[in-house]
C-alpha cells in the first residue's frame, strides 16, 4: 500500500506524538529498502570521502526517486561561501524533490535568510564533525552544566533562526530529553538517548559494513561486511573460471552446440519414424501375401465343396479384405 508522503508540516506535527525513524542512506537500493520498510526520514549527501561518503550528486537524485514517500534531507560537500550560495545550493536540492537541507556548518544569519526564502533546514548540535577542531576533537558535548546550558542555548538559537529540526550528536541523554521538551522543532538523536523526537542512524552501521571505526551509539542489525566478502570471493572464482576457459580455448558458442545437438536429435527422430514406417509397410505386405496364400487354398477347397463351416466364414472375411484378381 502506497503511503502518504511526509511534508514539512507533517514532519513537525509528529512532535510529542511519536518517534520518527531517520536513516542516512548511500545508494538508491538502500533508499528503496527504506521506503519499503516505512522509514520516515532519509538523509543523503554526496562527495564526502573524508566521512566515507562516495555518493555523487546524480546518485542523490536517484535516491530521491527510489524513496518518494520519505521526508528527505540533502547535504553538499562544498561549504557555501556566501548567503547567496547557501540559498542557491539549497534550491538545487529542492528542485529535484529534496524536502530540506543540512545547515550544520552555516551561520545563524544564513539560516535566517534561507528561512525567509521558505527553505526548510536541519541544524546540528553537540558533536558537529565540521567544527570538531573547536571543541578539542570528537567528544560528547553537554557533560558539564555550562556545556548543557550551551546545548540548550544553541538549539533555541537555531529554532529562532528557522530550522525545522536539529541533529543531536552524542549529547548526554538527560540533557537531550530536557531540550526536546523545551523546543518546538524535531530533535534527532544520534547517540543522545531514547527521549528525543527521532532516532538517526547510518545505513552502513545498521547493515554492518562500516569501514574503520564504528561509533559506540551505532546499532548493527545485519552483517553485510561478511556477505560482501563472500560475494567478492564468488567474483574471484567466476573470473578465475573465465580466465581458465580462455587458456583452454573453451569458447565454442554454446548456442551453436545446442543447435547442433538439437539437429542431431531431430535427425534421429526422423530416422526412427522412417524406419517404423518402412517396417509397417513390410508387415502389411507380408500380411497381404499370407492372406492371398490362405485365400487360394480356401478357393481350391471351395471348388471341391470341401469347406467346413468355419472355413467358409473365414473365406468370406478374407474376400472382403482383399481384392481377388
Convert 232-258 to b/e letters by CB count within 10 Å (16 or more is b). Answer: eeeeeeeeeeeeeeeeeeeeeeeeeee
pTM score, whole prediction: 0.72
Strand stretches in the chain, DSSP E: 20-24, 41-45, 71-75, 100-102, 121-126, 165-169, 186-190, 198-202
Predicted pLDDT of residue 293: 73
Mean pLDDT to the nearest integer, 233-260 = 81
- Average pLDDT of the residues in 156-174: 95
Q: What average pLDDT score do residues 56-79 get?
A: 88
Where do the H-state alpha helices sit in 14-101?
28-37, 57-66, 83-95
pLDDT in tens, 172-188: 999 999 999 999 999 99
The class level of CATH for 8-220 reads alpha beta
* Predicted confidence (pLDDT) per residue in 283-305, tens digit: 666 666 666 776 677 677 777 77
Q: At residue 252, what are phi and psi to the nearest 5 degrees?
A: -65, 135
**Average predicted confidence (pLDDT) for the chain:** 84
Least confident of 22-36, 62-76, 157-171, 208-222: 208-222
Evaluate if residue 98 carries a pLDDT over 90.
yes
The answer, yes or no, to whether residue 25 has pLDDT greater than 70, is yes
Q: Confidence class of residue 324 from pLDDT cuts 50, 70 and 90?
A: very low
Helix (H, G, I), strand (E, B) or coil at 309: helix
Residue recorded with cell 561561501: 81
What is the predicted pLDDT for the residue at 323? 53
DSSP three-state, residue 321:
helix
Query: What three-state secondary structure class fits 132?
Result: helix
**Could you tell me which residue, 155 or 132, shows the higher pLDDT?**
155
Q: For the residues 136-141, what does the mean pLDDT come to?
A: 71
Higher pLDDT: 93 or 260? It is 93
How many residues are there in the chain?
Answer: 325
Check whether 90 has a pLDDT greater than 50. yes
**Model confidence pLDDT, tens digit, residues 190-201:** 999 999 999 999
Name the residue with higher pLDDT: 90 or 279: 90
Is the pLDDT reported for residue 166 higher than 90?
Answer: yes
Cα Rg of the chain (Å, integer): 42
The sign one gets for the Cα dihedral 109, 113, 115, 121 is: negative
**According to the model, what pLDDT value does residue 313 have?**
72
The residues carrying an active-site annotation are 169
Rounded CA separation 176/178 (Å): 6
Q: What's the pLDDT score for residue 255?
A: 63
pLDDT the model gives residue 217: 83
The distance between the two most distant Cα atoms of the chain, rounded to a whole number of Å, is 141
Rounded to whole angstroms, the Cα distance separating 106 from 77 reads: 13
Closest CA to 211 of 62, 17, 26: 26
Predicted confidence at residue 325, as pLDDT, reads: 43
Confidence band of 249 (pLDDT split at 50, 70, 90):
confident
Residue with cell 479384405: 321
Residue with cell 472355413: 311
Q: What is the average pLDDT across 62-89?
A: 89
Where are the domains positioned within the chain?
Answer: 8-220, 223-251, 254-321
Q: What is the mean pLDDT of residues 80-100?
A: 91
Tell me if residue 210 falls in helix, strand or coil: coil
Instruction: State how far the Cα of 102 lies from the Cα of 123, in Å rounded to an integer.
Output: 6
Amino acid at each position: 500500500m502506497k503511503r502518504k508522503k511526509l511534508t514539512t508540516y507533517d514532519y513537525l506535527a509528529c512532535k510529542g506524538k511519536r518517534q520518527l525513524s531517520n536513516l542516512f542512506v548511500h545508494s538508491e537500493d538502500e533508499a528503496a529498502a527504506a521506503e519499503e520498510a516505512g522509514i520516515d526520514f532519509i538523509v543523503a549527501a554526496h562527495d564526502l570521502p573524508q566521512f566515507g561518503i562516495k555518493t555523487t550528486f546524480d546518485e542523490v537524485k536517484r535516491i530521491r526517486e527510489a524513496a518518494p514517500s520519505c521526508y528527505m534531507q540533502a547535504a553538499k560537500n562544498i561549504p557555501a561561501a556566501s548567503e547567496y550560495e547557501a540559498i542557491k545550493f539549497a534550491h538545487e536540492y529542492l528542485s529535484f524533490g529534496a524536502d530540506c537541507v543540512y545547515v550544520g556548518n552555516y551561520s545563524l544569519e544564513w539560516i535566517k535568510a534561507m528561512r525567509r526564502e521558505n527553505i526548510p533546514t536541519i541544524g546540528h548540535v553537540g558533536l558537529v564533525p565540521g567544527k570538531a577542531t573547536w571543541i578539542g576533537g570528537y567528544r560528547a558535548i553537554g557533560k558539564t552544566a555550562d556545556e548543557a546550558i550551551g546545548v540548550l542555548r544553541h538549539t533555541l538559537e537555531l529554532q529562532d533562526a528557522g530550522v525545522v529540526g536539529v541533529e543531536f550528536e552524542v549529547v548526554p541523554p538527560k540533557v537531550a530529553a530536557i531540550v526536546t521538551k523545551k523546543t518546538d522543532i524535531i530533535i534527532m538523536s544520534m547517540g543522545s538517548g531514547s527521549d528525543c523526537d527521532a532516532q538517526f542512524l547510518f545505513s552502513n552501521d545498521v547493515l554492518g559494513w562500516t569501514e574503520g571505526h564504528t561509533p559506540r551509539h551505532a546499532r548493527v542489525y545485519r552483517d553485510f561486511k561478511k556477505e560482501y566478502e563472500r560475494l567478492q570471493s564468488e567474483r574471484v572464482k567466476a573470473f578465475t573460471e573465465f580466465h581458465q576457459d580462455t587458456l583452454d580455448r573453451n569458447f565454442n558458442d554454446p548456442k551453436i552446440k545446442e543447435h547442433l545437438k538439437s539437429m542431431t536429435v531431430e535427425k534421429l527422430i526422423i530416422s526412427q519414424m522412417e524406419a517404423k514406417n518402412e517396417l509397417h509397410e513390410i508387415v502389411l505386405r507380408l500380411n497381404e501375401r499370407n492372406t492371398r496364400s490362405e485365400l487360394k487354398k480356401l478357393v481350391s477347397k471351395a471348388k471341391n465343396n470341401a469347406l467346413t463351416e468355419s472355413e467358409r466364414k473365414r473365406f468370406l472375411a478374407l474376400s472382403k479384405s482383399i481384392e481377388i484378381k
